[in-house]
Structure 1
Amino acid sequence: MALKFIREHCDEITNDDDNSYDTRLFNDYIRKVKKAGVWAVGLVGGAPLETPNVKDGKVIGWHVTWNKERKFAIDMAGFAISLDLIKNTEGHFGTECKMGAGAPETCFLDSLKLELKDLEPFGFTQDKKRELLVWHTQSVAVKYDKRKIDLHGFIIE
């Protein structure tokens, strides 16, 4: 029903979420999404970050701790879909999606007929340091040894 609402009210949508977003996420990433954009998310899945694995500007997989086998191993806060794609597809969050089978993100992105090659990675340029621009704000405290964590080029304070 939410996707139906989006399709019918694209110009009236406001945001209410339990994540913290840096405004640069919207200005530098989301406004530039042509089809489906992806980026890193901090404090998710029991890790300091989860991020798409990007090589030569293409998403080739995922750096995640939970359910690594998912086709789209990404958190809801880690992607944006263009309104054109939503308006022109039958994408949906279905009851057939089970958490262990891929989580709602994979089911939703699959329903939009997306493939890894369709994803536009944002924040993965080689010429500057990577920054996290979205964080879970309701995360459970997790202890980890910072010396043993691969941050994949991102800055974590």
Structure 2
Amino acid sequence: MKLLLSVILIFALFFSGVEMISGAPAVEALLKTLPRFEGWKMESPFSMPEDEFVTVGADYSRGDRSFQFMVIAGPEAPSAGPLPEELEEDRTAGSTETAEAWFSFFSLGGFPAVKVEMKDESGATVWIDLESRGWLLLGGDGMKGDEIVKLLGKVNLKEFARLVR
């Protein structure tokens, strides 16, 4: 789990700007909106203010399985997305890959989404573009993309999109 979460945070931090936070949504509102997933225990929620965006989320566990749910919001949040700039044009093709992962593009709840599945089968992450104002993502070690999409189908994506405006 730590490897997948590290990859997620590296993507988010590497592709973001480096300035002070301004215009980021209220951390408290995002924390209050974190979803509860039936059968999963929510661990301590967290927030990480970064330059020009804020990340809010929580770890969830059930037995020996776990995943992380995060929202990245603020003026520079769109640049914190899952794709290196050179892969952006591949969105229209529906999928692309790097040496480490497969990327699939689809729509979830009316929002553009990117499913990232690690080639070594260590896990997957689904990123949802919240109207180009932020990202919502869920990822876990050993999880398959379809399993993550099913969990995200229970999340009120429109509420998160409203909060990141």
Same fold (TM over 0.5): no
Could you say which structure has the higher strand fraction? 2
Of structures 1 and 2, the one scoring higher in RCO (CA 8 A, sep 6+) is: 1
Question: Taking structure 1 as the reference length, what is the TM-score of the superposition?
Answer: 0.29
Compare CA radii of gyration and give the structure with the larger one: 1
